[in-house]
Chains A and B, each alone.
Chain A
Amino acid sequence: MTVPRIRFTFWKAVFLAIMAAGIYCTFLRFFRGLGASTNLSDQFPWGLWIGFDVMCGVMLAAGGFTVTAAVEIFNIKRFHSIVRPTILTAFLGYLLVCAALMYDLGLPWNIWHPLVMRNPHSVMFEVAYCVMLYTAVLAMEFSPIVFEHFNLQRPLRIIRSVMVVFVILGVLLSTLHQSSLGTLYLIMPNKLHPFWYSPLLPVFFFLSAIAVGLAMTIFESSMSSKYFGRELELPILRDLGRVLVVVLALYGILKFEDLYHRGVLKLVLVSGYEQRFFLLEMFLSLVAPLGLLLIPKIRESAQGLYLAAVLTLLGFVTNRLNVTITGVENAVGARYSPKWTEVVITAMFVALGFAIFGFVAKYLPIFPEEKVHILALRESEARFAEVVVPVHAGD
């Protein structure tokens, strides 16, 4: 059950290597400028940092509002044990998105300008406000974990009594900005390829955020069970898998109807650059995960759920990259692929995400239900407890 020592140091080495490269690239970005550190151009003002770090970053953090809404608002109690890890993922995700944005903005020290220089007709303005407020809400939703750790009863009571307000606010803000990331592209009817340009862009972005939120929760539960030696909450993941099937099916039907009504369906069969990426996206985001999850044997198994979740994540990451990069390449008459520095910075934020999650989960009560579990284990199987208890040494 213990995590093999060699493996642990291997990942540590990988992490340190990425960090070192990241620090060098940070120097390049801030002292040499965007031109020296990216493949961005006048034709391609948005690249990997917007396409992945921001667009995918916000999407991958959607588990926070999805699961919180299910548990706190819809009162589905059996999901309760996974609320905290998803809130941590979301809080961390949004902090990393904000950090990554500092790299992409040409004048990052002006990031506070939308606070006072308002243009309510700008989708970007709305996204900026929502992301800022939602990050604050996530801090509030995360705070009980810290209060619990330091045994601060009074603030804990206060925050719990008003938590429902933050929960509703969080779901509201998430709904707004997850969909608004799609609305950003509505102003480019002549630029974005018809596979992706649709008046329904905000709806697609919102629905896919929910799907990704669920998939990310399955992914993260599987990962943490593996690395913290926790027992997998398989019944919960099975339920999430079912909800994922429904959300993906809704997305798929809406996608089909949208392509049909806009007369784009026939393009799907015409060989082309965009078509190949579109088919890849459709396979990864819809065909493969739905195909897997509709087979009961796979849907019930931990490995099957994990695979379907990973495919869903890859599929919608492809979708966001298609919207930001593939879909506009022909219109602007240029191809874009990220420079190595861009890839390193993105890798750095992904690595930071994993590392900080692991660190926080180790020292703060992220998996509170485990305590009961450990006691049960202690009685029956002492060797399990030996592994699990040190993980929760900080409790």
Chain B
Amino acid sequence: MRRRGDLETKMSKGILYDATLCIGCKQCEQACATENGLPYDDHIAAQEITSAHKYTAVLTKDDKFMRKLCMNCDDPACASVCPVGALKKTALGPVTYDKSRCMGCRYCMAACPFGVPKYEWEKAVPGVRKCVMCSKRVADGKQTACAEICPTGATKFGERDQLLEEAKKRLHDNPGKYLPHIFGETEVGGTSVMLLSSIPFNAFGFRTDLTERALPLYTYQVLSRIPDFVPLFGTMLGGIYWITHRREDVAEAEAKEKKHNGGGR
């Protein structure tokens, strides 16, 4: 279980997307497709939805924009539920996926509060597909492809802590320009990707009722009791067996004794 404190948060990278700076050019989409070896054309550009072949999408609502990508949670539900550890939260920030471990149970997809992991339904040998915050680039000390290409600085890559400070500063310095909320600061315990917007996030289909508690804690509070439960319950069952079968032992012994006594006479 990863907690905020366990991670070397100083080292942890993040993305700050500021919708008020976005011009909807979708160059982030193209750069993402190139980086991940995915097809990209006008048809795909028009799809305002993420999928197994599109890890990030620029969403449009009138003249406002919003980016959809993996939030790379600090304590991700997907990594917590994965029985084989195919999904992992790295210390640098990205939540990575290793297909060679995956068995395809799709619990990650069921558990993700943002509906991020997608599946290659059409393939006979399918895998999970999602934005991994350019984990290889980030490990090499580079920024993510989407942040690098962004012409306006709407998508900014950096240390998560510094980006959070900057987001707070922008909200503070420009009252009225922004919705006073940093999406990802506290949602499901905080995420590496943080979003700023001038209109409510639910206008883009984001859930605004998400808990601030890291989701893995909900299952961990039950799972963590199992090691204590097993010896207690096992002893109880063994004990009940021992007590309920006592009567038979007594009866058997008495029968033996009687026989013995009878034979001795």
A residues near B, CB below 8 A? Answer: 30-36, 40-43, 45-46, 69, 72-75, 104-108, 110-111, 113-114, 117-126, 128, 164, 167-168, 171-172, 175-176, 183-184, 186-191, 202, 328, 332-333
Q: Complex Cα distance A191/B82, Å?
A: 18
Q: Complex Cα distance A193/B80, Å?
A: 22
**A residues less than 8 Å from B219 (CB atoms):** 121, 123, 183-184, 186-187
Which chain B residue shows the least CB distance to A40? B121
Contact check, A33 vs B244: say whether CB atoms are below 8 A apart.
no
Task: Tell me if A's interface is mostly helix, strand, loop or mixed.
Answer: helix
Contact check, B106 vs A73: say whether CB atoms are below 8 A apart.
no
- Beyond A105-B104, A108-B103, A168-B234, whether A190 also contacts B223 by CB under 8 A is no
Instruction: Give the shortest distance, in Å, between B78 (CB) and chain A (any CB).
Output: 10
- Beyond A121-B216, A187-B216, A190-B210, whether A172 also contacts B115 by CB under 8 A is no
**A residues less than 8 Å from B121 (CB atoms):** 33-35, 40-42
Instruction: Give the shortest distance, in Å, between B97 (CB) and chain A (any CB).
Output: 13
Is B3 an interface position by the 8 A CB rule? no
Q: Which chain B residues (62-116) contact chain A, with CB distance < 8 Å? A: 77, 80-86, 101-107, 109-111, 113, 115
**A residues less than 8 Å from B237 (CB atoms):** 69, 73, 168, 171-172
Q: Which chain B residues (191-213) contact chain A, with CB distance < 8 Å? A: 205, 207, 209-211
Q: Complex Cα distance A184/B218, Å?
A: 10
- Beyond A107-B126, A168-B238, whether A188 also contacts B106 by CB under 8 A is no
Is B250 an interface position by the 8 A CB rule? no
**B residues less than 8 Å from A124 (CB atoms):** 81-83, 105, 107
4 closest A-B pairs by beta carbon, nearest first, are A106-B104, A35-B121, A75-B244, A45-B109
- Beyond A45-B119, A105-B103, whether A187 also contacts B126 by CB under 8 A is no
Q: Complex Cα distance A189/B101, Å?
A: 27
- Beyond A117-B85, A122-B83, A172-B230, whether A75 also contacts B245 by CB under 8 A is yes
Contact check, A183 vs B223: say whether CB atoms are below 8 A apart.
yes
Contact check, A121 vs B223: say whether CB atoms are below 8 A apart.
yes
Is B251 an interface position by the 8 A CB rule? no
Contact check, A110 vs B124: say whether CB atoms are below 8 A apart.
no
**A residues less than 8 Å from B241 (CB atoms):** 72-73, 75, 164, 167-168
**B residues less than 8 Å from A41 (CB atoms):** 121
Q: Complex Cα distance A106/B216, Å?
A: 24
Which chain A residue shows the least CB distance to B246? A75
- Beyond A105-B103, A172-B237, whether A121 also contacts B124 by CB under 8 A is no
Instruction: Give the shortest distance, in Å, between B105 (CB) and chain A (any CB).
Output: 6
Contact check, A105 vs B105: say whether CB atoms are below 8 A apart.
yes
Contact check, B51 vs A42: say whether CB atoms are below 8 A apart.
yes
